[in-house]
Amino acid sequence: MTKRLPISEVWVYLSGDPLFALIITLATYQIGYLLYVRARRHPMVNPVAISVIATCLIIQQLKMPYEQYFAGAQFVHFLLGTATVALAVPIYTGFKRMQGRIFHIWVALTVGSTVSIASAVAIAKVMGAGDNIVGSMYAKSVTAPIAMGIAERLNVSPTLTAVFTVITGMLGAILAPYILNALKVHQWWIRGTAIGVGAHGLGITRAFSVNEEAGVFASMAMGLNGVISAIGLPIVLTYLRPYLGF
């Protein structure tokens, strides 16, 4: 006669398995994505934010330590590196359509990402945020997979960096049309590039839904911005770190 497992033991078995963390992660994202499509891709209904909040609530309810969750979810996390490599494709597609605009885009990207980092770090620091938070502001305007790689190199929290990146993407996607209209910027390629630098992933989805050219330039700008920051930030910070005091 087979002994029946008490329900609590089934639970212990499941929660120790990577499958459980994967199910919560993917299912909450899927639900978030369905809601996002339902809401006609409105940037407020961000599938990533929905998935993160729901997953946090679930693991807190279950008193599951984060380390245990991550041990399972790392299989999704692992693909970040591969997704970064895949960014070469949109950059290449953008290159083909730039035609003599490379210099302008290069200048704008460098100035834009410097402003992004300097403003966020300065404001957070002046308003008295801790070193952990200030440090994670450095890479927040870069697309998350690259941002987290940079964060690891800078010895700051990849988690906070990822969270700030997601929030930046949401804010950027919501605010971009108003900012660009107020500044009377009407060329699609310029609008796209600015959105790619400021609002990365989510901004791009928005840009593609409005205009194809804007989407292509946004994808390219996001990728290039990541590459420039990944190469430049560690070098610049090595020299500046003594003066920044973090």
Partner 1 sequence: MISGLVQLFLWQGLGELLSKFFLPSIPGPVLGLLLLLVFLCVRGQVNADLNGVADAFRQHLGLLFVPASVGVVLFLPDLKTHALAVSTALIVSVILTIGVTAVVLKVCWYVSLKRHKGHRHD
Judged by CB under 8 A, the chain residues 130 through 149 that form the site for partner 1 are 130, 132-133, 137, 140-141, 143-146, 148-149
Provide the residue count of the chain. 246
Is residue 191 within the footprint of partner 1 (CB under 8 A)?
yes
The least distance separating partner 1 from the CB of residue 114, rounded to whole angstroms, comes to 9
Which two tokens mark 169?
């993407």
Q: Which residue among 70, 209, 241, 244 contacts partner 1 (CB under 8 A)?
A: 70
> Site size for partner 1, by CB under 8 A?
113
Burial track 187-197 (b if 16+ CB lie within 10 A, e otherwise): ebbbbbbbbbb
Where does this chain touch partner 1 (CB under 8 A) — which range of 1-9, 10-18, 37-45, 104-112?
Answer: 104-112
Is residue 204 within the footprint of partner 1 (CB under 8 A)?
yes
Nearer CB in complex with partner 1: 35/167 = 167
3-class secondary-structure state, position 130: coil
Q: Which residue among 35, 45, 62, 91 contacts partner 1 (CB under 8 A)?
A: 91
For residue 2, give the DSSP letter: P
For residue 186, give the DSSP letter: -
CA-closest candidate to residue 137, choices 100, 106, 164, 174: 164
240/114 Cα distance (integer angstroms)? 14
Q: Which residue among 138, 188, 190, 206 contacts partner 1 (CB under 8 A)?
A: 190
Nearer CB in complex with partner 1: 14/231 = 231
